[in-house]
Structure 1
Amino acid sequence: MKARDLVVLLGVIGIVLMMVLPIPTLLLDILLVINIAIALMILLIAMNTKEALEFSIFPALLLITTLFRLALNISTTKQILGTGHAGEVVQTFGQWITQGQVAVGLIVFLILVVVQFIVITKGSERVAEVAARFTLDAMPGKQMAIDADLNAGLINEQQAKERRQKIEREADFYGAMDGASKFVKGDAIAGIVILIINLVGGFIIGMASMGMSFSEAAEKFSTLSIGDGLVSQIPALLISTAAGLIVTRSASKGNLADELSSQMFAYPKLLYIVAGTIAMLGAFTPIPIMSTWPFALLLAYAGYRMQQMLDRKAIEHEQLEEEQEIEEVRSPESVINLLQVDPIEFEFGYGLIPLADTQQGGDLLDRIIMIRRQCALELGLVVPVIRIRDNIQLKPNEYVIKIKGNVVARGELLLNHYLAMSPGYDDETITGIDTVEPAFGLPALWVDETMKERAEMSGYTVVDPPSVVATHLTEMVKKHAHELIGRQETKSLIETVKEQYPAIVDELIPNVLGVGDIQKVLAKLLREKISIRDLVTIFESLADYGTYTKDADVLTEYVRQALARQITQQYSVSGETLHVITVGPALERKIAESVQQNENGTYLAMDPGTTQQVYQRFNEQVGRLVQSGHQPIVLASPSIRMYLRQLMERTMQDIPVLSYNELEPSIEIQSVGVVNV
């Protein structure tokens, strides 16, 4: 056994022996002083702890100190009633509080006991009880939070173990404090009982055994009883205050001095108000100026100094932030952050800032939200967040659209004008600034407010600048949708389908196809503006044919055939007749003969002369179909559709190429031209 362990054991045994063995007066004085010193030390420790667990021995210490005070009470009572003298410490405290007036001293002592018992002890007891209850109630949630952090990899096993132990210690501590606070309450009651015993017993013994008169016995034993009560109750009051501080510091992060200085004096201007109020009390009330104005000046000066300190800290904080920003720029991590490319960016010159500034009436942000919703409905694609920023390198009225850091479109706007597009014939009375509609490349005019109504009456399509931007941005997102869907986006779509159709996803991935294979098929569909919203049908088709081939082009053809109803409705509004350009037998045979195969799959290798001839024939037929007011659609056999698409997308990317198997049998088809070689 260590020496300090032996000292503690002997100390506890000595406390018990004090209750039955007589103690010399000199030793009793020393023990009373030690009791006061221990209580003061406990209070100071409680004021300087940052967390309650830093003083986790407090409940046990509370029991030992209470037992020590009761043992001293019993020893002093034996001295008072036995000899009429309890040492210099008790005598000094009694004379100091009574000052020759026993009644006043007795009243002061009773007030002290009431303050300790009703205010501090009862309050500490209630706080400890509530803290213990809420700590126990919060344990399951804290344990689950630790498990979640551990599963997410935010903490390791050792850190999780330490956190669990801390939670258990907190629960044990507050539970022990709930019980230990009853010791303080019992100590206060015992102090009152011992005072009454000393007073009554002292009167009787003084008059019966010591031959004192009533007044002499009352004065002597009242003084000793009050002194004895003060010597025990003052340390009890200090320890009760320490108990209250310990159990009320659950929400604090520093010691008491730090919290007081940072929270009580965080608003210097309020000190000026308090100083002015105190000064007015001295000026307009009978309270002497010498009692109020010095304190008011002190408060005002304190507020001034605190304001200076806060201003200095604010400057230091700004300098520290600037230094941190400089360090971040210099650090390798800052360079790594620059490598990140936003999927979609919209940059504009300073003249177009009102488009995005809501305070100036700009609704571009709301329009972008609608663009993302529209693309989700039409294409089945979750468009990434569109980054909006101003760029001083652009012209004031210019804007650019970037896809993965590369400019794919640009345009210019006149905010105080409207874009008027001709209905097919020009009205010479409509005047404005010649321009080109950015989304579709149509000729248009920028007209002012006075010309707007005249243009609308003449049949022009008139739109405001925000609508021009929204239309242009929507078309660019649709055109480059295949670039916006990667493996991560595909994985998110797969997880969405798996929530309601787990069987098809489990069969398809990874037994039949991988995420990368599915991503290629979805990208090829979006490249030709085929919606991927019906993912269930797409996955069903991939699961059926993915066991026979892994070629993304071939799988895409099978998926397109499975989406025949959707494709038919996309190009035939309300079941109208489809006006198409068909491919002649000679051209089909030429394309089939030009198909080559390598280790990466099949591709079209047609000679340049034939290719140029095919382009010319298609341009003629498309021009005729556009002049007749119909959307140009090319119809080919399923075996050559994807190769014909590869051929045409180089010069006529926006012309849809369909196969016979991609159209519903009920749709009426009218061929308005045949392309042959």
Structure 2
Amino acid sequence: MALKDFSVLVSVIMIVVMMVIPFPPLLLDFLIMLNISLAITIILVAMNTKEALQFSIFPSLLLLTTLFRLGLNVSTTRSILTNKTGGEVIETFGSFVVGGSVVIGFLVFLILVIIQFIVITKGSERVAEVAARFTLDAMPGKQMSIDADLNAGMISDKDARERRRKIEQEADFYGAMDGASKFVKGDAIAGIVITVINIIGGLIIGIVVHKMPVGEAASTFTLLSIGDGLVSQIPALLISTATGIVVTRAASDGNLGTDITGQIFAYPKLLYIVAAVVGLIGVATPISPMLTFPIAGIIAFAGYQMQRNLEQAEEHAETAAGEEEAEELKSPESVTGLLTIDPIEFEFGYGLIPLADKNQGGDLLDRVIMIRRQLAIELGIVVPVIRIRDNIQLQPDEYVIKIKGNRVAGGEIHLDQYMAMSAGIEDETIRGIETIEPAFGLPALWVNEEMKDRAELSGYTIVDPPSVVSTHLTEVIKNHAHELLTRQEVKSLIDNIKETAPAVVEELIPNLMTLGEVQKVLMRLLKEKVSIRNLGVILETLADYSPKAKDPDLLAEYARQALSRQITSQYINPGESLKVLTAGASVEKLMAESIQHTEHGNYLSLDPETSQKIYQMVLDQVNRLQQSGIQPVLLTSPAIRMYLRQFLERYMPDLPVLSYNELEPDVEVQSVGVVNVT
């Protein structure tokens, strides 16, 4: 055990011993002066802390100092009543400090107790109680703010953990202060009771035991009791004041002295008004100008000096800022920083600032957090931090979404209106601004609050502006997820799966496949919106087939077949049949015959006329099914699925193309159309 830990334990034990074993007056004098020194130290530390958590031990220290004072009270009371003395310090406070007057001493003691009990202790107790309640109530909001800053890239994961830990410590601290302040209140009450007991008990013992005259007994024991009370109450008053300072400290960058001088004297021109008022008091009242004019002069001179210092500081700050900016422009780092491109950017015009401003009710940052969590579950990837910023070059109600610095989507939002989309039956009485729903390209209307209620009654789907934006952002990220999956992201995913399945990772990488080759397979899966969350199955499949095949497209097909249960559940609910378009025999034969095999891979080679025929047939069938309310799925054989998908993705990127091997055997498949070429 360390020496400092041992000394604290011994000190606590000595407090208990002090209550039981009589101490000589000399030792009591030492302990009383130690108590006063400790109280002065505590209040000075409280004044110099920048925030409450820098003095986090204060609640426990408050309890120990209170226990120490009470133990000291017991020892001094025993000494006074037994030996008619409490030591040199108590006698000094009883005679010299209060002038030897019982009445003056009692009044001074009573004033100190009233100040401590009614003013400082009661106020500190209330502030601690309210601070504890408000700190607990504010915890969820602070946690969300940290998540928003982390999501926006303003802080790192380490900073977020430190801020969360600080919030927890603040809640614990103010909760402890709420309870510890009750000890200060009890200590003030105990001080009054102990002093009264000393006076009455001393008077009785002086007359009965020591055979002293009534006047002498009253004078002796009353002065000693009051001296003992003053010796106890002065440190208690200091520590109570320290309690108030700690619990009332707001967040700042300086200690109490710096804050007082910096904030009270932050407006030097106001000191001129103060000086004028003080001078006017000397002229308009019987108070002598000889008293008020020097004070007014000192205040006016202080205001002049502070105003001059502030102006010089502002000039120096402007000069330093200009020099720093010039140096930054000259440095090579300033150019290098411009090369960094954010993976995902969301920019908006100034009219959409309320979307992201929490003070105006915006919850976009919170929605972005939920989007990242949702996509982690749906796609199995960690979406990079989404950079959110305003852009004055955009129209006020316009927003754009960028992937790796390039615009991929955008839209226009009316914050004071709602987007209304019909379920297929238009109501001509619904009036609004015609628009296109940005995420899925559906026709819609922007309607006001009054028209919104009518649209809901007519069966329209009503969406508020923040939901429109978040839905669009989610769909854009889904469509471009494969572009966001870098080698570094793949390494992070593999490192994560390695903790639970190290064998397959060690077998596959780097012996059979490189990190880049695994990345290409995963990118092909994400491009067709196949989740890679079940990464263990994908890696197992790659480990099985990579010794035989090196083509990423072919390996992705094997991975799709291994994920058949997942793919099946993606397009069909349990107990329902899957309605599909089927690639006819003519299309399959034509595709199979057009596959060209080269040493660099396989590709589809179709003449333009045949390509146009196949595309037109697929488009006609898809439009027919969509008009019937059926979301089409194209089903084909495993041999040509990959090539048919590559052929159609440029024209119909959202059309799912599945092979028979990607469906579970127990799924009921219902063909609602056949694609053939005549």
Q: By the TM > 0.5 criterion, same fold?
A: yes
Runs of 4+, deviation exceeding 6 Å: 261-268, 270-273, 288-296
Distance 1:264 1:621, change over 3 A: closer
Deviation at 1:311, TM superposition (A): 4.1
Tell me whether 1:269 sits opposite 2:260 in the alignment.
no
Deviation at 1:267, TM superposition (A): 7.2
State the partner residue of 1:481: 481
Q: Whole-Å Cα distance in 2 between the matches of residues 670 and 616 of structure 1?
A: 22
State the partner residue of 1:564: 564
Q: Deviations over 1:150-177 (max 9, x none)?
A: xxxxxxxxxxxxxxxxxxxxxxxxxxxx
State the partner residue of 1:674: 674
CA contact (8 A) 1:268 1:306 kept: no
Distance 1:315 1:599, change over 3 A: farther
Q: Whole-Å Cα distance in 1 between the matches of residues 258 and 388 of structure 2?
A: 40
Deviation at 1:377, TM superposition (A): 1.1
Distance 1:305 1:512, change over 3 A: same
State the partner residue of 1:591: 591
Q: Whole-Å Cα distance in 2 between the matches of residues 605 and 617 of structure 1?
A: 18
State the partner residue of 1:406: 406
Deviation at 1:307, TM superposition (A): 5.2
Structure 1's unaligned 5+ residue stretches are: 1-258
Distance 1:498 1:297, change over 3 A: farther
The two structures have a TM-score, normalised by structure 2, of: 0.57
CA contact (8 A) 1:433 1:447 kept: yes
Structure 2's unaligned 5+ residue stretches are: 1-254, 283-287
Q: Whole-Å Cα distance in 1 between the matches of residues 299 and 507 of structure 2?
A: 77
Deviation at 1:536, TM superposition (A): 1.0
Deviation at 1:529, TM superposition (A): 0.4
State the partner residue of 1:463: 463
Q: Deviations over 1:470-499 (max 9, x none)?
A: 111111111111111111111111111122
Tell me whether 1:362 sits opposite 2:358 in the alignment.
no
Q: Whole-Å Cα distance in 1 between the matches of residues 426 and 515 of structure 2?
A: 53
Q: Whole-Å Cα distance in 1 between the matches of residues 294 and 260 of structure 2?
A: 21
State the partner residue of 1:661: 661
Q: Pairwise mapping of residues 442-521 of structure 1 onto structure 2 (< 5 A)?
A: 442-521=442-521
CA contact (8 A) 1:541 1:562 kept: yes
Distance 1:457 1:289, change over 3 A: closer
The two structures have a TM-score, normalised by structure 1, of: 0.57
Amino acid paired to 2:391: N
Amino acid paired to 2:387: R
State the partner residue of 1:194: none
Distance 1:442 1:263, change over 3 A: closer
Tell me whether 1:428 sits opposite 2:428 in the alignment.
yes
Distance 1:666 1:263, change over 3 A: closer
Distance 1:304 1:516, change over 3 A: same
SS at 1:640 equivalent: helix
Q: Pairwise mapping of residues 496-645 of structure 1 onto structure 2 (< 5 A)?
A: 496-645=496-645
Tell me whether 1:379 sits opposite 2:379 in the alignment.
yes
Deviation at 1:395, TM superposition (A): 1.5
Distance 1:292 1:503, change over 3 A: farther
Distance 1:263 1:478, change over 3 A: closer
Distance 1:567 1:292, change over 3 A: same
Deviation at 1:551, TM superposition (A): 1.2
Q: Deviations over 1:233-286 (max 9, x none)?
A: xxxxxxxxxxxxxxxxxxxxxxxxxx9x9999877839989x99xx99xx9xxx
CA contact (8 A) 1:268 1:304 kept: no
Q: Deviations over 1:565-599 (max 9, x none)?
A: 00000001223101111112222122122112334
State the partner residue of 2:646: 646
SS at 1:573 equivalent: coil
Deviation at 1:305, TM superposition (A): 2.7
Amino acid paired to 1:526: L
SS at 1:323 equivalent: helix
Deviation at 1:296, TM superposition (A): 8.8
CA contact (8 A) 1:420 1:461 kept: yes
Deviation at 1:330, TM superposition (A): 3.6
Name the count of aligned residue pairs. 416
Q: Deviations over 1:414-466 (max 9, x none)?
A: 22111111111111111112111111111111111111111111111111111
Deviation at 1:315, TM superposition (A): 3.1
Q: Whole-Å Cα distance in 2 between the matches of residues 413 and 485 of structure 1?
A: 30
Distance 1:295 1:423, change over 3 A: closer
Distance 1:306 1:615, change over 3 A: same
State the partner residue of 1:342: 342
Q: Deviations over 1:269-328 (max 9, x none)?
A: 39989x99xx99xx9xxxx99999869966874574355334422431233123212332
SS at 2:588 equivalent: helix
State the partner residue of 1:321: 321
Q: Whole-Å Cα distance in 2 between the matches of residues 603 and 435 of structure 1?
A: 40
Distance 1:265 1:418, change over 3 A: closer
CA contact (8 A) 1:521 1:552 kept: yes
Distance 1:303 1:504, change over 3 A: farther
Q: Whole-Å Cα distance in 2 between the matches of residues 639 and 548 of structure 1?
A: 17
Distance 1:308 1:661, change over 3 A: same
Q: Whole-Å Cα distance in 2 between the matches of residues 570 and 464 of structure 1?
A: 28
Distance 1:511 1:305, change over 3 A: same
Deviation at 1:659, TM superposition (A): 0.8
Give the share of equivalent positions with the same residue, in percent. Answer: 61
Q: Whole-Å Cα distance in 2 between the matches of residues 460 and 515 of structure 1?
A: 49
Q: Whole-Å Cα distance in 1 between the matches of residues 264 and 414 of structure 2?
A: 51
Q: Whole-Å Cα distance in 1 between the matches of residues 659 and 633 of structure 2?
A: 10
Q: Whole-Å Cα distance in 2 between the matches of residues 484 and 575 of structure 1?
A: 36
Deviation at 1:628, TM superposition (A): 2.7
Larger radius of gyration: 1
SS at 1:410 equivalent: strand
Measured on the aligned residues, the alpha-carbon RMSD in Å equals 3.2
Q: Whole-Å Cα distance in 2 between the matches of residues 320 and 599 of structure 1?
A: 64
Q: Whole-Å Cα distance in 1 between the matches of residues 496 and 344 of structure 2?
A: 23
CA contact (8 A) 1:381 1:533 kept: yes
Distance 1:264 1:372, change over 3 A: closer
Q: Deviations over 1:621-640 (max 9, x none)?
A: 21222233221111111111
Amino acid paired to 1:575: G
Q: Whole-Å Cα distance in 1 between the matches of residues 392 and 262 of structure 2?
A: 42
Q: Whole-Å Cα distance in 1 between the matches of residues 379 and 302 of structure 2?
A: 66
State the partner residue of 1:331: 331
SS at 2:499 equivalent: helix
Q: Deviations over 1:634-673 (max 9, x none)?
A: 1111111111111110111100011111110011111122
Q: Whole-Å Cα distance in 2 between the matches of residues 444 and 291 of structure 1?
A: 79
Distance 1:267 1:634, change over 3 A: closer
SS at 2:550 equivalent: coil
State the partner residue of 2:441: 441
Q: Whole-Å Cα distance in 2 between the matches of residues 390 and 588 of structure 1?
A: 51
State the partner residue of 2:245: none
Q: Whole-Å Cα distance in 2 between the matches of residues 590 and 263 of structure 1?
A: 82
Q: Deviations over 1:108-132 (max 9, x none)?
A: xxxxxxxxxxxxxxxxxxxxxxxxx
SS at 2:642 equivalent: helix
Q: Whole-Å Cα distance in 1 between the matches of residues 348 and 653 of structure 2?
A: 28
CA contact (8 A) 1:355 1:364 kept: yes
Amino acid paired to 1:269: F
SS at 1:513 equivalent: coil
Distance 1:263 1:470, change over 3 A: closer
Q: Deviations over 1:52-77 (max 9, x none)?
A: xxxxxxxxxxxxxxxxxxxxxxxxxx
Deviation at 1:501, TM superposition (A): 2.0
Q: Whole-Å Cα distance in 2 between the matches of residues 663 and 403 of structure 1?
A: 33
State the partner residue of 1:419: 419
Tell me whether 1:388 sits opposite 2:384 in the alignment.
no
Q: Whole-Å Cα distance in 2 between the matches of residues 291 and 418 of structure 1?
A: 70
Q: Deviations over 1:89-140 (max 9, x none)?
A: xxxxxxxxxxxxxxxxxxxxxxxxxxxxxxxxxxxxxxxxxxxxxxxxxxxx
